[in-house]
Amino acid sequence: MNHPSKVIIIGAGIAGLASAIRLAVQGFAVEVYEKNAFPGGKLHHFEEKGFSFDAGPSLFTQPENIEELFTLAGEPITEYLPYHQLPVSCNYFYEDGTFVQAFADKDLFAKELAEKLGEKKSSLLAYLKRSENIYNRIGRIFLNFSLHKKNTLVKAPVWKAILATRWQYLFKSMHQVNAAHFSNPKTVQLFDRYATYNGSNPYQAPGMLSLIPHLEHNEGSFYPKGGMISITKALYRLCLKKGVNFYFNSPVERIIETEGKAVGIVVNEQNVYADIIVSNMDVYFTHKHLLRNPSKAKKILKQERSSSAMIFYWGINHTFPSLDLHNIFFTNDYKIEFDHLFRFKKIYKDPTIYINITSKCEPGIQAPPGKENWFVMINVPANTGQNWEANREQARSAIIQKLNRLLNTDIASLIETEQVADPVSIEAATASYMGSLYGTSSNSKTAAFFRHPNFSRSIKALYFVGGSVHPGGGIPLCLKSAKIMSEIVTTDFKKERHS
């Protein structure tokens, strides 16, 4: 590159930060405009009365996606982001008192399922092997390459992957695949829950999603020292090291398009020009507000939105030895819960509860001594105008009653601090349309093919990253979207220079 062509990135979420690093390493002059006063998007945190809370994503898998960024930048990741693998990925609690620990060691996990749920040890090992095969043969292509570029057919062995795809992965639901493999409904429920990792319904989503457990049970789950916010801090520091310029409290008003090409943005009532524009904003809002194209935005709404979340951040004046970093308290009827989420657009009266407690990994640091910081989340439908104030009261009551039953305690009396997030506040804070955590759901067999591409077909020099576009939501996929986008930019830029 003869001169540093300029890139503007709209949004400093995880995908925006990763994009900034990748493009800066390529030699572009990168500027990032963010409406909030801080980087990270959904991956931010807050503190209250000595309790530290990660406000967004709480699961760390595939650290190699982040390691790659530091390798590209020539920086040692250990100086920015120390982390370690967890010995137990999650603790599971069932209404009948059954307690299951998902050990990182597969043999220990198989033994646990055999002793607690009566599963054959070979069943788990065979399932995880199959999950690994699906990921390696098929998932890697869908997650690492653009599905919207002809050259993907050349670069990636797409047809080989399609031929390797067994019909049940496409034409059976994730639940049907799991139910055919395991004998105990509790085990089926345990593996059905992985559909929620991209905001989907296991009773509708294709069996292909059974590749998701591979990430956690074959590759491992991890904890970054300092909590998930440390990921944001590390990437932000690396951006600064690579010369990326940030402009916070600067909501972008519009993308400037001239003769079919994106040439800049309007921010703070001023025009700022660049050679390339990258939107890390929800793609619906990008088209509706930044491009002033409501008809294109309307087309995006034809795809079903993913689920959202209601989160209670509780400072707890007690410690619970039975709990770990990740904990799940299952509902008795998973099918009815998902019917409520996706069919009725309501919160089920007995929701499945997830609790994340980072003070388990750093006691006395993430919470005061003898206390715990609870991130308590339930899946809820995307916002379609429900009464969220009433929903909050209903959910809080249901959560407390359930935890009181299963932990034999009085949770309400232990809550010292409380903050709440719901789809409305999530949309306001992160510009995720309807509060959907993952953009569109993966409930249809063709959902992977219809996610918005990482580039504009009609506007040159305009690109997209983040959870609302290909390949999807969650930290690993947002990081992969940045990689896919930057590779497309490189190819397009070379073509333009030689044309």
How does pLDDT run across 305-343, given as a tens digit for each residue? 899 999 999 999 999 999 999 999 999 999 999 999 999
- Same domain as 371, residue 412: yes
- Same domain as 285, residue 268: yes
Q: Is the pLDDT score of 145 beyond 80?
A: no
For residue 202, whether the previous peptide bond is cis, meaning omega lies within 30 degrees of 0, is no
The CATH code of the domain that includes 476 is: 3.50.50.60
Percent of the chain exceeding pLDDT 90 equals 82
- Same domain as 394, residue 317: yes
Average pLDDT over residues 55-64: 96
- Same domain as 245, residue 393: no
Scan for tokens 């006691």, then name that residue: 363
Instruction: Pinpoint the alpha helices (H) of 1-118.
Output: 14-25, 64-73, 106-117
The answer to whether residue 315 sits within a structural domain is: yes
Do the Cβ atoms of 303 and 447 come closer than 8 Å? yes
- In this predicted model, what pLDDT tens digit does every residue of 447-496 receive, in sequence order? 656 689 999 999 999 999 999 998 988 999 999 999 999 999 998 887 66
The C-alpha atoms of residue 351 and residue 307 are separated, in whole angstroms, by: 13
The C-alpha atoms of residue 465 and residue 485 are separated, in whole angstroms, by: 7
- Same domain as 449, residue 413: no
Which value, to the nearest 10 degrees, does the dihedral of the CA atoms of residues 138, 43, 220, 161 take?
Answer: 0
- Same domain as 314, residue 416: yes
- Same domain as 322, residue 410: yes
The answer to whether residue 156 sits within a structural domain is: no
Give the pLDDT score at 137.
Answer: 80
The answer to whether residue 41 sits within a structural domain is: yes
The C-alpha atoms of residue 255 and residue 297 are separated, in whole angstroms, by: 15
Six-digit token string for 432: 């995720």
Task: Give the 3-state secondary structure of residue 239.
Answer: helix
The answer to whether residue 38 sits within a structural domain is: yes
Domain count, the chain: 2
- In this predicted model, what pLDDT tens digit does every residue of 187-210 receive, in sequence order? 999 999 999 999 999 999 988 889
- Same domain as 69, residue 14: yes
- In this predicted model, what pLDDT tens digit does every residue of 158-195 receive, in sequence order? 555 555 556 566 679 999 999 999 999 999 999 999 99
Give the pLDDT score at 1.
Answer: 42
The C-alpha atoms of residue 245 and residue 263 are separated, in whole angstroms, by: 18
The answer to whether residue 290 sits within a structural domain is: yes
- Same domain as 372, residue 461: no
The answer to whether residue 16 sits within a structural domain is: yes
- What residue numbers bound the domain in which 407 lies? 307-381+384-421
